[in-house]
Amino acid sequence: MRRTRVVSLALLLAVVVNAGVASVGLTSAEQAKASISGAYVSTENPSPGQQFTVTTNVTNVATSSDSITLTDMYVRSVSGTEEHARVEDVGSISPGNTLSVPLSLSLSDVGTHNLRVHAVVRSDSGDTQHLKYPLLVTVTKRSSVMVSVQASEPTANTDTPVNVTVANGDSNAISTVRLQLSGNGSVVDPERVTGSIDPGVDRTFRYNVTFEEAGPKTLNATATYITNDGSPKTVSDETVFSVVNESDEDQLEGRIQLVGVETSGDGIVTIQGDAANVGGTNVKSVLLRVEDTASVSPMGASGEYFVGAVNDSKFDTFELITRTKSDATEVPIRVRYLVDGERRTDTVTVNLSSTSAGAQAAAGPAPNMGGPNQGGPAPSEGRPQPRSGGALGGLGGLVLPLVAVVALGGGAYVLWKRR
């Protein structure tokens, strides 16, 4: 009897331990850094073999301390391993941001397809996360009259050409065709009318649409018409477009880099250099500050320097003063600025073992730029340079005139003695 109780107790402990392990796994899942916030199908009910687009939004949570890299995204059936679409090495997502990824695919069988969108992300620290999102797509038989919406690379706040095509696949002509385009964009002249469309003929109508902001945007095209036997019919198409900002396509994000950094002094060290914007967009509110450490501390207000705004491919000078102890070998500088309304913070280390290398190793080589924000000399020119030392360092302007006077006086004395 006693042995039976011992075995039962051991089994009970094993169950408790396993429950604890399961709880730990759940806690790890709850601390996920990324999520799929939505998936949108461009065509509500595609026909067999018709190409349509699934646009998926992957978000890096704002509380995350790391950027994440979207390494793989694919669409797969729930009941098997067949992949309908895949894309790899999509890009990185900083904390609090969302990346929209379009995938094109087609389905051949009529009916409802139970699909899953899969996304694989990896954080800067090396953690990998596999995300899934359910997706139902219903494929219907092709209608004899169809309407479709097409646009190439829509960009926010610009006129985007949109073509809407009404295709008459019937064996007879259709008449009194009225087409209406609506949705998330501002449409110029949204309603079009044509008398008739012959059998087997496609009629394309061109629209100009303006989307106010980037992201997934929906356009709805609805065509009403009269068939050959006089029956009114309606056919529609809903298309989701991934609208981008112009800067996302053509420009790199603004980024501050410290270049041409020089240090001078011992105990009280002066750091001079240039804050250069090596990106393609403007940055604002650039603030530099010496970080407090066991060996380094900012010297009052001189330990902080407000550079302000720096336009793309421009720079501005700065000067910081810090107190250092005898064992100090480097000075950390915190660089804070705004890019597109988002706060960025970097830390640059300035080496004290060299008076000219400065932050080059930590911040990279100096870019070839045309001048500072207001135009002017190249980096490090036009800025006060450290004065040279020596016993006569402060009297250099008086030494040469004094020597000349003494030489003239000596020569005059020799001539007078010879007389």
Domain residue extents for the chain: 34-139, 145-243, 252-351
Secondary structure (3-state) at 289: strand
Torsion of the alpha carbons at 385, 386, 391 and 395, rounded to the nearest 10: 30
H or E stretch including 92?
strand 83-93
Q: Would you state the pLDDT for residue 409?
A: 53
DSSP string, 383-397: SPPPPP-STTGGGHH
Amino acid present at 121 = V
Residues of the chain scoring pLDDT < 50: 1-30, 248-249, 354-400, 402-403, 405-406, 412-419
pLDDT score, position 247: 54
Q: Could you give the CA distance from residue 160 to residue 154 in angstroms, rounded to a whole number?
A: 6
Cβ(347)–Cβ(287) under 8 Å? no
Nearest partner of 225 among 273, 157, 188, 174, judged by Cα: 174
pLDDT reported for residue 132: 93
Nearest alpha carbon to residue 366 among 261, 238, 288 = 261
The whole-number pLDDT of residue 250 equals 52
**What is the spatial distance between Cα 181 and Cα 162, in angstroms, rounded to a whole number?**
10
> Is CATH 1.10.3720.10 the right assignment for the domain spanning 145-243?
no
Beta-strand relationship, 159-168 and 128-139: unpaired
Could you tell me the two tokens for 397? 């302007």
C-alpha to C-alpha distance for 139 and 49, rounded to whole angstroms: 9
Q: Which CATH code for domain 252-351? A: 2.60.40.1230
List pLDDT tens digits, range 80-129: 788 999 999 998 999 989 999 999 999 988 899 999 999 999 988 888 99
Q: In the CATH hierarchy, which fold is given to the domain comprising 34-139?
A: Immunoglobulin-like (2.60.40)
- CB of 73 within 8 A of CB of 93? no
For residue range 322-356, list pLDDT tens digits in order: 999 999 999 999 999 999 888 999 999 999 864 44
The kind and range of the H/E element at 41 are strand 34-41
Asked whether the domain spanning 145-243 has the same topology as the one spanning 34-139, the reply is yes
B/e letters for 118-154, b = 16+ CB within 10 Å, e = fewer, are bbbbbbeeeeeeebebebebebeeeeebbbbbebeeb
